[in-house]
Structure 1
Amino acid sequence: MADLDAKVSTGKAAGAGVLIAACVSALVVNANTSAVTILLPAISQDTGTAVDTLQWAVTGYMLVGAAVIVTSGALGDVFGRRRIFLGGLLLFVASCVLIALSTAGAGVIAGRMIQGAAGSTILACGMSLLSVDSSGPAQMKAITLWGAASAAGAAAGPLVGGVLVEATGWQGLFWIDAAIAAACIPVTLLMVKESRDPNRSRSIDWAGTALIAVILVPLVLALSEGSDWGWASPAIISCFVIGALGVAGFVYAEKRVSAPLVDLALFRNLVLVGSTLAILIVAGTINGLMYVLSLYFQDPTGFAMSALQAGLATLPAVAVMIAITPLITPVALKIGPRQAVALGFLLSAVGFGALGFAKSSWTYGYFVIPLVVMAIGLGLANGPASSASTSAVEPEQVGQASGISNMARYVGGSLATAATATVYAAAIANHRAAGASDADALAAGLSRSAILLAIMAGCGVLLVVLLGRHRLHKVSPGATAAAYSHTVPVAAGD
């Protein structure tokens, strides 16, 4: 009887196989994602492709991930989570090989877009496999490990990427990632049990998946090329029109399918809307900043850092966000979730705003405090928003709410990176045309990009209106840790 009581109190522990496969793959995917921006200058030099074009290696990854992440989870529920997870691993290995063998930017970009589908599938199905293989407090222990692996990968990515550029060339990252992902395949085959959701409709919303791409591709293209083509040009206007038609088509389609990608009725929940927008802004500003900082730090007229030095230079921001994870929930419980989100965005706006004063005379020391303030702010905003996005809905809607939040991370990253890259390049070109030195023009590009990100963070403060008086329940550290890369379903009262 005592043994039975112990099992009830601790829940079912996840098996070693599913823990290894899910956590190792999450670490690799997140490390790969955060490392790529550090590699862009080296890839540009090796392939002869402009960095502005290689921006699609970042935005394309996130764009495809946004379209696929919810669908991959649905495929796992219907056809088997292990089977779809294995498909994600195989696709990830193939994309790594394609990128590593590419001698032109087009191959890198195509490989990264395939990798976006693979990475989102691995994260979505890996989390599902952990959830169904465990229960109770033991389940949250498994999620804590998964979240820690994800956070560690995100933090280590720029540093690992920098080390590998100098030791093996930029291709080394993708060969090593391919090898690690490939090693997860036999572990999954031999040690992970298959699982499905027998109660879920077997209908897959392919139309919704395609329409997400129809919405995002022209918007990212417009944000990327607007300054070159002209914001009032027929091409840019056409992009916005196609995007708007895609939105109308998506709403029409989602109302008519039996198992919609997104339950549109959830958007009547203002707390969910506010928290999803907060998640979108956090993901967008982090990715936008890391993109321009990696270029600025490595530019010969900037700090002329090596890839390794640039990786180390961007580490404080990610490391601080991870370090404050244990403090986020206690602070949010003490001051309230909407106050925590507002304070977080206010701090991050101040950090970005400080970088808006960047000058060519600045040394690296000028960047450290703004980066730390920004990281604390975004970490404080992200945790409560991620928890609120699922705890504010009915228990049967938690999965859908989680999917919406995870899609928002990819949408925010793709749109904000494209916009930031455009502002960065346009400011540099305009200042050079006005007679500024290369160093001053480069600093102006960073400054204008930081101002854009400060405005985005400032808009996040206004989300307190949507978040209302939602009460944040105590959240497991695992959910908070995982929130940097994935929203963990958290029901009210958990």
Structure 2
Amino acid sequence: MAGPRVLRNDPHAAHVIAAQASPCDELIVRTQPAALDSPCRRKRLALAATILGSSMAFIDGSVVNVALPAIQTELRASVAAMQWIVNAYLLFLGSLVLVGGSMGDKLGRRTVFVAGIAVFTLASAACGLAPNAGSLIAGRAVQGIGAALFVPSSLAIIGAVFDGEERGRAIGTWAGVGAITSALGPVAGGLLVDALSWRAIFFLNVPLAAATIALAISSVPNSRKLDAPQQLDWPGALSAAAGLAALTYGLTEASARGFAHSLVMCAIGVGVLVLAAFVMIEAKSRDPMMPLEVFRSRDFTGANLVTLLLYFGLGGAFFFLPFTLIRAHGYTATEAGAALLPVPVIIGVLSRLTGGLTTRFGSRALLSAGPGIAGIGFAMLALPFVRGSYWAGFLPALAVLGLGMTITVAPLTTTVMASVPGHRAGVASGINNAVARVASLLAVAVLGIVFVWSHDAALSARLDELHVPHDARQTALLRLDAQAGAAATDAPTPQQTLAAQAEAGAIVDALRAVALVSAACAFAGAGLALAIIQPRK
């Protein structure tokens, strides 16, 4: 299959570490026609504005996971609240990003970009000032709405301002800076958490946003798409957001209440029904944000299924891994952020070497091999020797995972672009991005059930083996709830020390269960690629 050329400097590297991993950003840029009445005279400043804006989203997506234990300690947040701190952002970003791109096309990219940055910044300040978990979750939701406006607009601005070879260089610069900020974001965030407070990671957005808005107003032309839809698909966007919210709420509550609880069953049932209504709305809409006809392509459907399964595993594992490193192994936030570096570093180093493999072997072979290798990396996180030793345990597993993601990146981009007609390439890439973000959203909810249930079962078994009495179990603050991060003021008793060790071991066991489910999803993605995607002709 002769697919279009894909840049070796693939921007997947800028997203893999983030919770809202988003493939195919390059396609969004490449499929934007230049619609400027006059050439942009300040192209470098315009590129700087888009890079700063995108960097805020990259950093925010990658540092929050590292800060979660500190947030839990200060705000006494429950496990469900920690999940929603991440999922509130992913929910609105994933469900509104397609309509956000259409708003930029219709109303002007600069207008929507600046508005999104402003909303995002106000929400960031609210997050930094949040007095409790509920306020922080609300602020994160508004951050997601702002990001859904400026992320697609920033990519479209690059496509409209630059053309020809300049566009390729601009994409390479944008992707390179994005990869650096994504890789260093957790480390820098960990330093802020350790030296100042978790609140500093949100206040950092304020000066960045001020510089971004100033650059955008002074240098970015307010381009529009000439054939933009006359009406925005608000019914589709709202039904997608409502359905995903209900489904995610039900899955999140299931970890504490069980699937038999009436609230859980009702929430999941409502979510499924509203999402079914979303599909019907898209089928009947004149200008749907997700045209269903693109799914008639086997390759496009297969590529999105691979994306859903692989990024489901990635989002879940990278949500719980920093928490485990900090809570069970005693890492600082900075050390936990640095521990994640192998994945983006390997992708950045090897992406040039693997970029030509798609032409040589075809997308089908690589989309089977890449997720399969990533699955091995996930499975290695569950091995018994992955305990306290980073160099002998976590590093090899993350290196294999990074290699698998590197092999997957280019053929996934190529398959999405080549599987639909040229005029649908931008829509197809946007859908694939949304699928990746929704996969991370569902992963945090579903794998939260796996983590909590595995933790409780392992903890109970360990405490029974140690013959720890029930009063010591209660005073040791064993459960992963609002008191889990509370600092004890009195010296622990010997039984409480044993109970704390059992707690750490239970967290490790829970991460292993999550890693095994992530591995199963990656292997399933490899199998589906082999079964659905057509071999190279």
Give the structure 2 partner of residue 21 of structure 1. 49
Give the structure 1 partner of residue 87 of structure 2. 59
Gaps of 5+ in 2: 1-38, 464-501
Give the structure 2 partner of residue 37 of structure 1. 65
Give the structure 2 partner of residue 439 of structure 1. 504
Given that residues 420 and 428 in structure 2 are in contact (C-alpha distance below 8 angstroms), is that contact kept between their aligned partners in structure 1? yes
Give the structure 2 partner of residue 80 of structure 1. 108
1:51 CA displacement: 4.1
Give the structure 2 partner of residue 196 of structure 1. 224
Is 1:323 paired with 2:349?
yes
Q: 1:283 to 1:149 in 2, by over 3 A?
A: farther
Give the structure 1 partner of residue 398 of structure 2. 371
Give, in whole Å, the separation in 1 of the partners of 2:447 and 2:405. 17
- The CA deviation string for residues 205-251 of structure 1, in whole angstroms up to 9 with x for no partner, is 00000111122112212322223222233222222321221122112
Give the structure 2 partner of residue 306 of structure 1. 332
1:123 CA displacement: 1.6
The letter of the residue matching 1:447 is R
Give the structure 2 partner of residue 179 of structure 1. 207
Q: Which moved more, 1:215-224 or 1:396-405?
A: 215-224
Is 1:217 paired with 2:282?
no
SS at match of 1:324: helix
Q: 1:116 to 1:383 in 2, by over 3 A?
A: farther
Give the structure 1 partner of residue 19 of structure 2. none
Give, in whole Å, the separation in 1 of the partners of 2:117 and 2:384. 42
1:201 CA displacement: 2.3
In the superposition, the TM-score normalised over structure 2's length comes to: 0.82
The letter of the residue matching 2:399 is V
The letter of the residue matching 2:369 is L
Give, in whole Å, the separation in 1 of the partners of 2:41 and 2:339. 39
Is 1:394 paired with 2:421?
yes
Given that residues 155 and 318 in structure 1 are in contact (C-alpha distance below 8 angstroms), is that contact kept between their aligned partners in structure 2? yes
Give, in whole Å, the separation in 2 of the partners of 1:469 and 1:12. 42
Give, in whole Å, the separation in 2 of the partners of 1:179 and 1:274. 42
Q: 2:366 aligns with which of 317, 333, 340?
A: 340
Given that residues 201 and 259 in structure 1 are in contact (C-alpha distance below 8 angstroms), is that contact kept between their aligned partners in structure 2? yes
1:467 CA displacement: 4.8
Is 1:453 paired with 2:518?
yes
Q: 1:223 to 1:327 in 2, by over 3 A?
A: farther
Q: Which has the higher contact order (CA 8 A, sep 6+)?
A: 2
Is 1:430 paired with 2:457?
yes
The letter of the residue matching 1:313 is A
Give the structure 1 partner of residue 443 of structure 2. 416
Give the structure 2 partner of residue 463 of structure 1. 528
The letter of the residue matching 2:397 is P
Given that residues 310 and 521 in structure 2 are in contact (C-alpha distance below 8 angstroms), is that contact kept between their aligned partners in structure 1? no
Q: 2:135 aligns with which of 97, 100, 107?
A: 107
Given that residues 89 and 144 in structure 2 are in contact (C-alpha distance below 8 angstroms), is that contact kept between their aligned partners in structure 1? yes
Q: How does 1:203-242 map to 2 (within 5 A)?
A: 203-242=231-270
- The CA deviation string for residues 28-74 of structure 1, in whole angstroms up to 9 with x for no partner, is 21011111000001111111222442111111211111111101110
Give, in whole Å, the separation in 2 of the partners of 1:276 and 1:55. 24
Give, in whole Å, the separation in 2 of the partners of 1:458 and 1:78. 41
1:143 CA displacement: 1.3
1:361 CA displacement: 4.8
Given that residues 355 and 447 in structure 1 are in contact (C-alpha distance below 8 angstroms), is that contact kept between their aligned partners in structure 2? yes
The letter of the residue matching 2:396 is I
Q: 1:191 to 1:361 in 2, by over 3 A?
A: closer
Q: 1:122 aligns with which of 117, 133, 150?
A: 150
Q: 1:149 aligns with which of 170, 174, 177?
A: 177
Q: Which moved more, 1:322-331 or 1:83-92?
A: 322-331
The letter of the residue matching 1:309 is E
Q: 1:59 to 1:379 in 2, by over 3 A?
A: farther
SS at match of 1:342: helix
Q: 1:47 aligns with which of 52, 75, 87?
A: 75
Given that residues 40 and 220 in structure 2 are in contact (C-alpha distance below 8 angstroms), is that contact kept between their aligned partners in structure 1? no
The letter of the residue matching 2:241 is A
The letter of the residue matching 1:80 is G
The percent identity for this pair of structures is 26
Give the structure 2 partner of residue 95 of structure 1. 123
The letter of the residue matching 1:312 is A
> CA RMSD, aligned part only?
1.9
Given that residues 96 and 241 in structure 2 are in contact (C-alpha distance below 8 angstroms), is that contact kept between their aligned partners in structure 1? no
Given that residues 338 and 464 in structure 1 are in contact (C-alpha distance below 8 angstroms), is that contact kept between their aligned partners in structure 2? yes
Q: 1:318 to 1:235 in 2, by over 3 A?
A: same
Q: 1:314 to 1:336 in 2, by over 3 A?
A: same
Give, in whole Å, the separation in 1 of the partners of 2:349 and 2:84. 31
- The CA deviation string for residues 345-398 of structure 1, in whole angstroms up to 9 with x for no partner, is 111111111212246854222111011101111222133112311222101111
Q: 2:410 aligns with which of 375, 383, 387?
A: 383
Given that residues 367 and 529 in structure 2 are in contact (C-alpha distance below 8 angstroms), is that contact kept between their aligned partners in structure 1? yes
Q: Which moved more, 1:358-367 or 1:98-107?
A: 358-367
Q: 1:183 to 1:272 in 2, by over 3 A?
A: same
The letter of the residue matching 2:286 is S
- The CA deviation string for residues 468-487 of structure 1, in whole angstroms up to 9 with x for no partner, is 33659xxxxxxxxxxxxxxx
Give, in whole Å, the separation in 1 of the partners of 2:109 and 2:118. 14
The letter of the residue matching 1:420 is L
Give the structure 2 partner of residue 158 of structure 1. 186
The letter of the residue matching 2:454 is A
Given that residues 26 and 149 in structure 1 are in contact (C-alpha distance below 8 angstroms), is that contact kept between their aligned partners in structure 2? no
Give the structure 1 partner of residue 36 of structure 2. none
Q: 2:308 aligns with which of 266, 270, 280?
A: 280
SS at match of 2:356: helix
Give the structure 2 partner of residue 486 of structure 1. none
- The CA deviation string for residues 171-223 of structure 1, in whole angstroms up to 9 with x for no partner, is 11111122101211011111111111232222000000011112211221232
Give the total of aligned pairs: 460
Given that residues 358 and 443 in structure 1 are in contact (C-alpha distance below 8 angstroms), is that contact kept between their aligned partners in structure 2? no
Given that residues 247 and 272 in structure 2 are in contact (C-alpha distance below 8 angstroms), is that contact kept between their aligned partners in structure 1? no
1:157 CA displacement: 1.3
